Structure 1
C-alpha cells in the first residue's frame, strides 16, 4: 500500500482511483443488488412451490390411505409431477407400502428403486435401500438383496443390516454365514432383542 504525506495527496489518489474504477464499482453494485433481489425472488418461488407440493402430498397420502392400491394412478401422477422434490420420494415409499400389503411385491420394488434413483436425502436413501433388500429377499433375489445391503454405509444401521443379511443367508441355506452375520449384528448399537434367539436356534 502506498503511503501519502498529505491529506491532499490522499484525496487526489482517491479521485484518480474513482475515475479508473468508479464505473466498475457501480456496475458491480447494480449486479450485486440485482442478484440479491433475484435470489430472494428465487427463494420465495421455491418456498411457495414446496408449500404447494407439501399440501398436495398430504392430500395424496390421504387418498392412498382411504383407497389403497386403487389410488395408485393418482399417487403415480403426483410422483411424476414432483420428481424434483423429496415429496415424490415419500409418496413412492407410501405407495410401495400399500402395494406390499396388497401382495404386489414386484410393483412395490419398482417404486422403491425409482424413489432411490431420485432421492437426494442420504437418510431416506438408506431406508429405501434397506426396504429394497427386504423385498428382493421376499422375491428370492438373495444375492441382489445382499448387494443392496452392502450399499448402506451409515454406521447407525449396522445392526439392522447385519441381521437382515443373516436372515437372507439363512434362507439361502448358509447357516455359518448367518451365524456370523447375527454375531456381528449383536455388537452394533442398534442390535435387536431377537438376535440372541436366532443365534440360539442356529446353535442347536
Structure 2
C-alpha cells in the first residue's frame, strides 16, 4: 500500500498506523523515508521514544550513507532532547562526511553543554565555525560561544 506523505501529515491515527506498517514491511529506501515521516509526527506530538524507535527502524532499512547521516542527525537531536547526551554523542560519531561537519559540530556542542561540559561545547562550536558552515549556522554557533561567557 503506497501512502502519500501528505496523508501522514494529516495526523489521523489510521494514516499514521498505515505509514508505520508500510515502513515496517518495506526494508528499503521507501520504508526508511516513511519511517522518517512517522518519526516527525511523533516528534510533533512530543512522543520522543516512539520517534527514536522509528528512526532506528529507518536506519536499519536505509542503505544510502547520506540518508543514514540525516537519520542519525535527527536521532541525535531527539537524544539531546531526551537528556541522553552520551547516546547523542555516540550517534554523532557515526556520521561521516565533510558536508555534515558543521551541523554535527553544532549538535555535539549542544550535547556537551547539556552534560555541563562548557569547554567541550566551546571547542565543538569553534570547530563548526571554522568548518564549511553556512553563514547563518556559523553565526548561530558563534552566538552560542559568546553566550558561554555570560
Q: Helix, strand or coil: the match of 1:120?
A: coil
Runs ≥4 residues deviating over 3 A = none
- Do structure 1's residue 128 and structure 2's residue 74 form an aligned pair? no
- Decide which structure has greater helix share: 1
Highest CA radius of gyration, 1 or 2? 1
Distance 1:105 1:70, change over 3 A: farther
1:198 and 1:70 map into 2 onto residues whose CA distance is 42
1:152 and 1:165 map into 2 onto residues whose CA distance is 11
Structure-to-structure mapping, 1:19-168, within 5 angstroms:
56-58=2-4, 61-69=5-13, 71-83=15-27, 85-168=28-111
C-alpha RMSD over aligned residues? 1.5
2:92 and 2:69 map into 1 onto residues whose CA distance is 9
> Bigger CA drift: 171-180 or 64-73?
64-73
Alpha carbons 2:11, 2:41 under 8 Å: kept:
no
Alpha carbons 1:69, 1:98 under 8 Å: kept:
no
TM (norm. structure 1) is 0.68
- Consecutive unaligned residues in structure 1, runs of 5 or more: 1-52
TM (norm. structure 2) is 0.91
Number of matched pairs = 147
Q: Which has the higher contact order (CA 8 A, sep 6+)?
A: 2
